[in-house]
Structure formats: structure tokens, C-alpha cells
Amino acid sequence: NLESQLKQQNAADKLDQVLAEIPRVREDLGFIPLVTPTSQIVGTQAVLNVLTGERYKTIAKETAGILKGEYGHTPVPVNAALQARVLEGGAPVTCRPADLLKPELAELEADVRRQAQEKGITLAENAIDDVLTVALFPQPGLKFLENRNNPA
């Protein structure tokens, strides 16, 4: 994947530089484990650092997310200067990142019930199953609900 990224940028000759940059980026990002998705984040940032000719001239959105704490705690602290740069005076996430998400289920359930009523769809006895179907697959889920009782 790294090689194909570089080939697309006509920079296949930079592979050795990118491979040397990966451990440096990983250190800056608190020695995060190299498993999906963080391995791709580290690799992408290393490519950006090499291709721009300047470390962190461009910071990928996902790299900024790690520095902000959006991916949780890292094994060791991240590079403080980089973190300050992406935080722009704000504070890092110090709690469980998912705790910052606003609840959406009640709003979605009301929306699905409204759409069902408008379209004459009968929801299942346990409507949460239908709500989750639409949550996971918005357009095909609604189409499924519309045609669920169609014998054809």
C-alpha cells in the first residue's frame, strides 16, 4: 500500500526515506501500536512528511485526531509541540472519546417512525430492529422496510 501511494505520486524512489520516517512519526504520536487504523495513519503521515520535504508541513486529519486524543490514550505522551499546534489553544480529549458523542438513537427512532407513517410502512413489533436497519443502511434499509411484506 505504501509503495502504491508513492507510485501514484511518482515518488517510488522515496520509499527508503518514508520507511525511515515511520518510526519517527510513531514516536511523535506516542508510540501507538501499528494496527489498523493507526498503521495507515502513521504511514500516510510519513509519506506526507517526505513528499512535502518538511516534517508536519501538512498534518493529516487522522494524525491531528491522535494528537488531540480522539483515538484514546497513547502508550506514552505525544509530541507536545505538535499537540499544541493542532489543539490551537484547545484542550485534548482526556475522557473516553465515545463519551463525547451525542446520543442519536431517540432522534433516529423518531425519524424512522415519521418516515414509516408517511410511507405507510408497518414497523416490526420491536421497532428498534427496524431503526437499527435504517441506521446501518439508510437508503437500502428504508427500501427493505417498504417492501418487506411484498410477496413478489
Ordered by start, the domain boundaries in the chain are 2-97, 105-147
Q: Which three cell numbers stand for residue 86?
A: 493542532
CATH topology of domain 2-97: Cyclin A; domain 1 (1.10.472)
pLDDT at 141 over 90: yes
pLDDT tens for residues 60-95?
999 999 999 999 999 999 999 999 999 999 999 999
Burial class (CB in 10 A: 0-12, 13-18, 19+), 131: buried
Average pLDDT on 24-49 reads 97
Q: How far apart are CA 65 and CA 43, in angstroms?
A: 15
The confidence band for 47, taking pLDDT boundaries of 50, 70 and 90, is: very high
Q: Would you state the pLDDT for residue 68?
A: 98
Q: Would you state the pLDDT for residue 1?
A: 78
Cell numbers 486524543 correspond to 69
